[in-house]
Chain A
Amino acid sequence: MAQEVNKNEWPSWEVCIRSKAGLDHKHAGSLHAADAQMAIENARDVYTRRMEGVSIWVVESKYIHASDPDESSSMYDPANDKVYRHPTFYNLPDELTHM
């Protein structure tokens, strides 16, 4: 039934925006569009109208594969007690400032 309702809707797209040259594209939100070109234009109109960006990536939402929230304890909890994975045990020379 849910599929019947969605049959005439445009597919959903995820939008990533680069706020300025040199920075990463960051996820900004999602929208509906008939194809990739329209998705980019809709993203331009919806997400960059207040000078938020200089570059846009779009990907159809169905191509995003996500981890299962039910598995999060086995996926992420084991990292909690592995402090040695942070590179915090090195003695840095004082001259090194941008670390």
Chain B
Amino acid sequence: MLSEQEKTEIAAHSQHYPTARALCVEALKIVQRHRGWVSDESIADVAEALQMTPVELEGVATFYNMIFRKPVGRHVILLCDSVSCWIMGCEQLREHLHARLGIGLGETTVDGRFTLLPNVCLGACDHAPAMMIDNAHYQDLDPASVDEILAKYPKYPQEEKKEKKEPANGNTADP
């Protein structure tokens, strides 16, 4: 079942599209924001709410790399591996992250703190190499600056801030 909060957030976007189905990407992102990832159960919940079959929704969910169909850590590192960042040393950063965190691409640290994923061009090519952690962009990286950035993220779950920042809700309606 979708929570009341999830239903409210999804409904805030319903005026933007003429069909329920068109809401599905937004709905998947909302559910993922609340639940951390999109489980089979979440697929069933969203599909029911939007009058889609779970299989139809699964086809959409698995298409997008930012819809996580497997659990991820508390923070997701998205390391840009496109051409400008490759020239400027993203592979060295990947090796450094592996040495620091003990994880390769697609893996999560044993303490659940970080998941490391590759990402296509983040649009920071003049400040390569670049990465994102959750919603934050980082650029002009080297191993030392990566270490400083990682240190900003809480080591233990109990240190995480309670409320994660929610993005603004859709467009304003036609006044």
A and B: real partners? Answer: no
Report A's interface with B, CB cutoff 8 A: none
